[in-house]
Structures are given as structure tokens and as C-alpha cells.
Amino acid sequence: METLRYHSIEALRGLSLSELHALWELVPTDRQRAYKAAYEREVRTAGAVGSDELERQVAAELLKRYDEAALVPVGSRWARSPGRVQEAAKQNIVLDAPEDEVKPASGKPSPKVMLAVGLAALVFFGLMFTRLLGGRSSGNVEVTPEVSPSPTPLVSPTPTPLALEAQDDVIQGGDSGREVAYPVNLQVILPNGDAPRVWVVQRRRVQASEWRFDLNPDTASFVNGMSVRPVIGIPWSEENAAFFADIGTGTGFLLTMNTGAVLRFEFDERREVRRSETSIFRQVSPGLVLLLIGETDDDGLPTATRTLVTATYPPEQELSRDGQVIGMNITLEEGSEGESLALGDASVTLQDARLLTDQPDLPADSQYLLFNYDVLAGADALDTTAWRVEFVDAGGQVYTPSSAALTYTDYDALPLEVPALSSLSASVGYIVPDTLQNGRWVITDTAGNGVSFALSFAAAPLDLRYDGVDVRLVSVTYIEGQITTHLRIYNGRAETLHFTQDDIWLALGYAPEPPGPRNPAEGLTPFDLLPEQAVDLTLVWYWGGEPYASMGVGDYRFAIQLTRSN
């Protein structure tokens, strides 16, 4: 057997362990590692490590997911394979996707990759029979997918594996823009409890009334510049049209931004609109607009109408600076690392928080933020399903937990229930920008209780006291309302120096060498100065006419005297 071919679940049940292992060996090595990591993460999250019986239950539940909903692991998520991919895998043919008829966008997976995903995922589930039939202990234990335990509730299944498979390339394949923040991922959660539908989002310009978009039904298109009320187009397909028909009251929408922040929206209405209607693009109030675009009639011409879904932005997800949750009667108890705060009848203690960078699975310009904490339940069992565990940065952007971060944490995720009068340690992680300096870790429940832990990750002040670093203030020029300084910094040390906007400052005053207030070099992009490297910096500062100024670069200080010309 040298070719990986489709096997039904019934056929896999009839294979011996050696035959299953032979199939598994046909899966590419990198995909083997990814699937093994996904399985081990499920076992760890379900608390089944070290128990053969619990691990068999986890394997049975995963097989049930595949059998009933075609859910397969894709990175840190579980996703439903599109129907066209399932059919192609069953027939062992290369899939000719409709989008291949036009020039493919950069980063779109090829048909061969799409077929390999389906076949390799099936073999992954076939290998799980070795867990059910073999395991670490001897003896034959008969377990069927009819078992319905509840492991891994914190991993959200997603039904778009192909878009998520190379989502970074898909996102980068869109049009560029000057937006500081823009959406990269859209999740739509129906009220029936099914797995959320996920689209990767590209940025697109509308030029000469033409909306260019990717025909891949798993790739959505965000209209550049629509930041208050984002407008996102979903390519028409039979599956997407059927999904839009199911969207109604109770549907939730999660829009993930490139910064890692997650915006929540709630269903407002669904209706048919004419293609010429432009009111949907008005940016008059916060919200979300989804359009089903690209539908054609029997003659191949664009239809006169298209389906529109609008959603509102609930203000209660916002946190004010004084700890009050806007729109809700919740006041957060404030604390810091190492403190224990009461959350209803329970208490939460933050052990520690740390940043983790330079991991291969991280998106560009991102890092992991990891928390270890203790939870003590009260007299009654603690139901944590209603808890919102989020991180809010200094700018008010909200970050939700990332299941991928659990790979690097000290403890497992928080279980759905904590027994009465018991204490346990848990971990949670987030993907945040690598420029993060401070924020708050916030936990709230539906009963009006909340705790907030203030955190600061600001870098230590730059140490330039030792020999080897030379800082020169080359020139100072000024005009009405503006001072321009020119610096040269030379790093003669053996280690790299990292500069941020807080490492260079200017203070203005009416006496020589004013100590403050210090104005940081706002707008300066953080940079590294390598050994034996020099940099010239030209910085522009606001000037209100003060006659004196002080400038600091690390521990270097410069005194400046200014005179206003008549």
C-alpha cells in the first residue's frame, strides 16, 4: 500500500492495528505532527492525561465528531470540511474548485492540498481506533462513538478548514490600506448550538463601483475604510446561501481584528436589497453589515437583489477606565499580580503573568500572554460556563483566550465546573501585539460580579550608563510651534539595544533643565540597534514657546535653551 486512499469509518473498523499503522505512515510527517499535537491537546484539555479510560472516551468523542459533523483538526481549531471536499476525498479525485476557473489569488491552497487534507484527516481518525482498541493497557475494551462525554468544550469547532489552512497568505492576498486596525476573521454563531461558521477576511477596494472579491466561498471581503460599521461580502455558494437563510434572532457575530481584539455583534435583521442600494455603506453608528455577493441568474448575469444581514454592537462589552462595565451594573474589584479577589461566592488569585515571544506558530508582530491563576469555589459547585475571561489593553481593545496558547501554559484550561469548597490551578493564554505594555485581566459573570487585575509589561529603562554607547545631540532647530532635534546614537557594545518611544523624551519649562513633564517620542517605531551600528534620528516636538528644554536618551541628559525670535 503506497497510495493514501479514502476509507470509510466502517472500513477502518475492520482493519487491524498493523494495517491502521501502515495507513498512518502514508501521511506526510509534518501533518502527522500537527494531528498528534491536536489529539494530545484535546486529551490534556479534557483532563484525561494518565488515564486510559478517559483517553478512550476522548477518542470516542472525536470519532463521533468526525462521523456526525465531519469535524477535523486544523491548527488549533476543529473545522467542518466543506461538502465538495468530502465528496472529492471519497472519490479519490483531485478537486476542481469553481474558483480555479479564474486566476487564483496568492496563497490559496491548490486542489491537491485540498484533497490531501481530507484524506490525511481521515487517516488521523483511523489511527484513533488504535487508542480505542489498543491504548497503553492490555485487554480489548469495546468502545463505540455512541459514548457522549463532554471533553474539550473550550475548543470551538469551526467549519472552514481550507481557508484556515493558509489564512495568513489569504489575508495578505487582499488589497493594502492605511487602516491601523482591520478585520481578519469572521465567526457567525447560530442559536441552535452548531459549530460556528468561520471566514477568513481580506481587505478589498471598491473602484468604479466594482467590488472585486475572492470567489473562494471560505474567503470574505472587507471594504477598505469601513471601520465604524464594517461591510463584509460573503461569496455566494449553495452552502453559504443556506447558512444565510438560517441566520436569525439570537445569532452572534465575532469579528477578529489584526490587532488580536475581538468585536462582538448581535443579529439585527435580514432582508433582500437591490444591488444599487448604497445606504448600507453609511458609517453613522457602530454595527456590522454582511452581504451575500456574486450570485448570478440562469443566464449567468448578476441578480438584481442580494441578501443583507445587519448586526448591532452591544455597548456592554466596553470597559470604562474607572472599572465600570458600560451598560451593565457591574463594578470590578481591582487587584494586581499575587492578590486574591472575590468573584461572587468564589475567589480568584492571579499567580503570575508572562509574555512569550519567538514561537513558530505565532502570527507576525504577535506574542503570547500567559496567565496562571487559582480558583476557590464556595459552598456550592462553581459553574464557570458563564464566565468571561478576557484581557483588555490600555487602549480598550479586548482579547479573548486562544486555545493555541495552552500548549505553553503550566496548567490546563479552567473546567466547566469546580466542585464545592475545592481549589484548583488553571491557565489561560492570549495572542497580543508584541508592542503590548500594560492592560487589565478581567473576569466577569452574568450575576453582576467581576474582578480586574492591573498588569504592566513596560520594558525596563534603557541602560546606557556603561562605556561603549555614544549619544550625540547633533542639532536643535525650531520654528513657531515646533522643535526639531537631530540625534546620532552609536552602539559599541556586544549586545543589541532595543529602543522604544519611552526611551527618548523632551521636557519643556521656564527654568534651566526642566525635569518634566516628560513627553515621549510619540510616533517613534520601536527598533533594535545592533552592535557596532549607528542610527540618525530626526524627531519633531510640539513647542509652546518655553525658553528651556531638557532631552533624555536613556541615562543621557541634554540641556537646551531656546529663544523666540521677534
Q: Which of 456, 484, 500 finishes a domain?
A: 456
412 burial class (0-12, 13-18, 19+ CB within 10 angstroms)?
Answer: middle
> What is the mean predicted confidence (pLDDT) over 402-423?
87
Residue 276 lies in a domain: yes
Residue 155 lies in a domain: no
CB-CB contact of 212 with 184 (8 Å): no
Look up residue 177 and give its three cell numbers: 490600506
Q: Cα separation of 110 and 252, whole Å?
A: 32
Residue of 326, 313, 255, 318 lying closest to 284 (CA atoms): 313
Kindly state whether residues 173 and 288 are assigned to the same domain.
Answer: yes
Q: pLDDT at position 244, please?
A: 92
Kindly state whether residues 448 and 480 are assigned to the same domain.
Answer: no
Q: What are 257-266's pLDDT values in tens digits?
A: 776 667 888 9
Q: Which of 456, 483, 513 finishes a domain?
A: 456
> What is the mean predicted confidence (pLDDT) over 370-388?
89
CB-CB contact of 382 with 375 (8 Å): yes
Residue 327 lies in a domain: no
Residue of 353, 434, 417 lying closest to 383 (CA atoms): 417
Kindly state whether residues 351 and 450 are assigned to the same domain.
Answer: yes
Residue 153 lies in a domain: no
How open is the CA angle 507-512-518, to the nearest 5 degrees? 10
CATH number of the domain bearing residue 260: 2.40.260.10
Most confident of 94-98, 136-140, 292-296: 292-296
Q: Which of 251, 284, 313 finishes a domain?
A: 313
pTM (two decimals): 0.39
| 313-347: burial string, b at 16+ Cβ within 10 Å, e else | beeebebeeebebeebebebeebebeeebebeebb
Q: Cα separation of 408 and 354, whole Å?
A: 11
The more confident residue out of 467 and 368 is 368
Residue 427 lies in a domain: yes
Kindly state whether residues 295 and 429 are assigned to the same domain.
Answer: no
Kindly state whether residues 20 and 127 are assigned to the same domain.
Answer: yes
CB-CB contact of 311 with 288 (8 Å): yes
Kindly state whether residues 201 and 228 are assigned to the same domain.
Answer: yes
Distance of CA 63 to the CA centre of its chain: 27
Kindly state whether residues 447 and 480 are assigned to the same domain.
Answer: no
Range of the domain at 107: 9-133
Look up residue 112 and give its three cell numbers: 491537491
Q: Cα separation of 415 and 318, whole Å?
A: 26
210 pLDDT higher than 60:
yes
Residue of 184, 186, 190, 148 lying closest to 167 (CA atoms): 184
Mean pLDDT in the chain? Answer: 77
Residue of 167, 175, 169, 243 lying closest to 200 (CA atoms): 167
Kindly state whether residues 421 and 522 are assigned to the same domain.
Answer: no
CATH number of the domain bearing residue 419: 2.60.40.1240
Positive or negative, the CA dihedral 492, 495, 500, 503 is negative
Kindly state whether residues 176 and 282 are assigned to the same domain.
Answer: yes
Residue 73 lies in a domain: yes
Residue 350 lies in a domain: yes
Kindly state whether residues 446 and 422 are assigned to the same domain.
Answer: yes
CATH number of the domain bearing residue 530: 2.60.40.10
Q: What are 419-458's pLDDT values in tens digits?
A: 988 999 999 999 888 878 788 899 988 777 889 998 887 6
CB-CB contact of 107 with 89 (8 Å): no
Q: pLDDT at position 212, please?
A: 76
Bridge partners (DSSP) of residue 222 are: 203, 232
Q: What are 100-155's pLDDT values in tens digits?
A: 443 444 444 444 544 555 555 555 656 565 555 554 444 444 444 444 444 443 33
Kindly state whether residues 38 and 83 are assigned to the same domain.
Answer: yes
Residue 152 lies in a domain: no
Q: What are 516-547's pLDDT values in tens digits?
A: 888 888 778 888 888 889 999 999 898 888 89
The more confident residue out of 278 and 287 is 287
Residue 458 vs residues 22, 272, 462, 503, 509: alpha-carbon distances, Å: 52, 50, 11, 11, 27
Give 75's pLDDT tier (boundaries 50, 70, 90). Answer: low
The more confident residue out of 118 and 282 is 282
5 pLDDT higher than 60:
yes
Question: How many domains, in total, are found in the chain?
Answer: 4
Q: Cα separation of 292 and 277, whole Å?
A: 14
Looking only at Cα atoms, what is the longest distance across the chain? Answer: 97
Kindly state whether residues 238 and 214 are assigned to the same domain.
Answer: yes
